[in-house]
Amino acid sequence: WVRDLRAQEHIRSSVTAMVALAHGLGLEITAEGVETLEQAEYLVEQGCDVLQGYLFARPMPVGEFQAQLQEGTARRGV
């Protein structure tokens, strides 16, 4: 879904509804599959709490991720 956010109205409407429902239930929203800055900006505008995907990093072993965090080289947030 994230891939076609800007192009398809029904997807945008679904995202808006899901975010509103989850927040109404006191839940945090994590958007997965974020690959572009445009997608990230849209999802943040809609109220998503956490984003993950290739925009931030490719999948990696835990040890490599921990090393990046310790070195301060891991990308965090938009």
Residue 15 tokens read as 């995202």
Annotated catalytic, 45?
no
DSSP sequence for 15-49: HHHHHHHHHHTTPPPEE----SHHHHHHHHHHT-S
Q: Which of 9, 28, 32, 71 is an active site residue?
A: 32
- Tell me the catalytic residues: 32
